[in-house]
Amino acid sequence: MSLAVGVIGTGMIGQDHIRRLTRVLSGAEVVAVSDIDRTRAGQAAPAGAEVFDTPQALIRSDKVQAVLICSWGPAHEEQLLDCISVGKPVFCEKPMVTSEAAALKVIDAEVAFGRRLVQVGFMRRFDADYRRLKAVIDGGTLGLPLMYYSKHRNASVPEGLYTSDMPLNDTLVHDADISRWLLSDEIASVEVRLPRRSRQGGELRDPHLVLLHMASGAIVDVEISVNIAYGYDIRGEVSCEKGLAALPNRPAPVVSDQFGIRQAIPEDWRERFIEAYDQEFREWIVAAGQGTATGPSAWDGYAATLVADAALRAVTSGGREEIAMRDKPALYDTAAKVAAA
Ligand code: NAD
Ligand code: ISE
């Protein structure tokens, strides 16, 4: 039987995930949608799906078994808490929430419920290149990881909607999460340096150079650029005691013509991570069908939120901002038990 999914937020990524669940993957059906822009929700709704006036009504509907939250970050807290209150598995796009206080409320609610329900949209963990990179590091042949260079470059961001805090509380969260996961480490403190401002984004604070000091002593150096113009360019290289391991350039046809020999660069995240999003939803559909969640958890969402908060403080202080995590609840110690698809 198909998993009956209700989608909240039918903007760019909401529409892409609806396409994925409707036309690419099996095992799920989008039966409901909701957006504060009702017209957009109506246009994005697949045939037969009901358009709900409010996210609350969608979450409570008997026809919805599991929820997919693709609204703006600040709206996630209330929608997540609503899903947990009715015990429905929920996939929430990043950032899970936008403050430490909100993250703790989500964790407390899920722990009180007693089973994982929340999966956060850190899709890099499902990307085959990142998985192979992690396997090399975990294999230990290169020795301990010492430094990780994470380059996160967007061609452009929506003018007016994407504000100066967002490179740190919306975009950096991916690098924070992948650093913890790749290096099997925690982030202990954060520094931010602001280079010359790019004229591409007008008054937007861009780019950012962020240093993540890991608990082990390893250091992650992150470039966040959101108006790089030439495409969506994600790179990663881990420098270890006895060698380096790096993400490959994305496989793309090598074109030779009068302009030279070149490979295309993805336009945006939809193209670069298309297979990763597919895989993240394959795994979510199985887990949600069993009433639970897998992959990046509310704990991981909380950890990334702390990094975003610390990075924003570091912009103001100019110094190194410490991160203090609360003790990890047992619920997040082991992966949820999910039977194979
Ligand atoms: P968007 O602006 O294109 O779409 C957001 C939609 O949510 C809009 O249609 C808006 O009307 C709706 N919305 C906002 N608040 C709402 C509320 N309270 N209730 C119902 N609907 C509401 O933005 P987007 O690019 O689709 O991003 C949405 C979320 O997905 C953000 O949190 C963003 O960070 C995340 N995102 C993740 C990735 C990724 O790679 N994992 C990529 C892009 C966006
Ligand atoms: C966007 O919301 C995403 O999550 C993309 O993966 C990221 O690269 C981009 O910077 C964000 O704006």
Instruction: Calculate mean pLDDT across residues 81-98.
Output: 98
CB of residue 98 inside a 6 A radius of ligand 2: no
Does the pTM of the predicted model rise above 0.85?
yes
Closest CA to 207 of 220, 192, 219: 192
CB of residue 309 inside a 6 A radius of ligand 1: no
**Contact assessment for residue 133 and residue 247, using Cβ atoms and an 8 Å cutoff:** yes
- Atom 5 of ligand 2: nearest residue by CA position: 269
Query: What are 201-251's pLDDT values in tens digits?
Result: 989 999 999 999 999 999 999 999 999 999 999 999 999 999 999 999 877
Closest CA to 205 of 224, 230, 229, 189: 224
- Atom 10 of ligand 2: nearest residue by CA position: 171
The DSSP secondary-structure symbol of 204 reads S
- Testing ligand 2's pocket by substitution, the residue of 165, 171, 267 carrying the most ligand atoms inside 8 A of its CB is 171
The DSSP secondary-structure symbol of 33 reads E
Residue with tokens 């009956």: 4
CB of residue 71 inside a 6 A radius of ligand 2: no
**Contact assessment for residue 150 and residue 326, using Cβ atoms and an 8 Å cutoff:** no
pLDDT at 165 exceeding the cut of 80: yes
pLDDT at 336: 43
Query: What are 241-279's pLDDT values in tens digits?
Result: 999 999 998 778 899 999 999 999 999 999 999 999 999
Instruction: Calculate mean pLDDT across residues 164-187.
Output: 97
pLDDT at 338 exceeding the cut of 70: no
In the chain, helix, strand, coil percent, each to 5?
40, 25, 40
CB of residue 11 inside a 6 A radius of ligand 1: yes
Instruction: Please classify residue 151 by burial: count the beta carbons closer than 10 Å to its beta carbon, then call 0-12 exposed, 13-18 middle and 19+ buried.
Output: middle
pLDDT at 291: 98
Closest CA to 307 of 227, 220, 235, 195: 220
- Atom 3 of ligand 2: nearest residue by CA position: 171
CA distances 34 to 108, 182, 230, Å, are 26, 35, 34
In the numeric block, which tokens belong to residue 218?
């390893």
In the reported structure, the alpha carbon of residue 175 is separated from the centroid of ligand 1 by a whole-number distance in angstroms of: 19
pLDDT at 253: 87
Instruction: Spell out the domains of the chain, with CATH numbers in brackets.
Output: 3-124+276-297+326-340 (3.40.50.720), 126-273+304-322 (3.30.360.10)
CB of residue 227 inside a 6 A radius of ligand 2: no
CB of residue 74 inside a 6 A radius of ligand 1: no
**Contact assessment for residue 4 and residue 29, using Cβ atoms and an 8 Å cutoff:** yes
pLDDT at 252: 84
- Testing ligand 2's pocket by substitution, the residue of 124, 269, 280 carrying the most ligand atoms inside 8 A of its CB is 269
DSSP string, 91-122: EEPSSS-SSHHHHHHHHHHHHHHTS--EEE--
CB of residue 207 inside a 6 A radius of ligand 1: no
- Testing ligand 2's pocket by substitution, the residue of 174, 208, 270 carrying the most ligand atoms inside 8 A of its CB is 174
CB of residue 122 inside a 6 A radius of ligand 2: no
Instruction: Calculate mean pLDDT across residues 61-89.
Output: 98
CA distances 121 to 96, 264, 293, 297, 307, Å, are 8, 26, 12, 9, 17
Q: How far apart are CA 105 and CA 156, in angstroms?
A: 33
In the reported structure, the alpha carbon of residue 312 is separated from the centroid of ligand 1 by a whole-number distance in angstroms of: 21
Query: What are 123-138's pLDDT values in tens digits?
Result: 999 999 999 999 999 9
In the reported structure, the alpha carbon of residue 121 is separated from the centroid of ligand 2 by a whole-number distance in angstroms of: 11
Quick check: helix, strand or coil at residue 90?
Answer: strand
Q: How far apart are CA 25 and CA 288, in angstroms?
A: 14
In the reported structure, the alpha carbon of residue 317 is separated from the centroid of ligand 2 by a whole-number distance in angstroms of: 26
- Testing ligand 2's pocket by substitution, the residue of 170, 222, 265, 274 carrying the most ligand atoms inside 8 A of its CB is 170
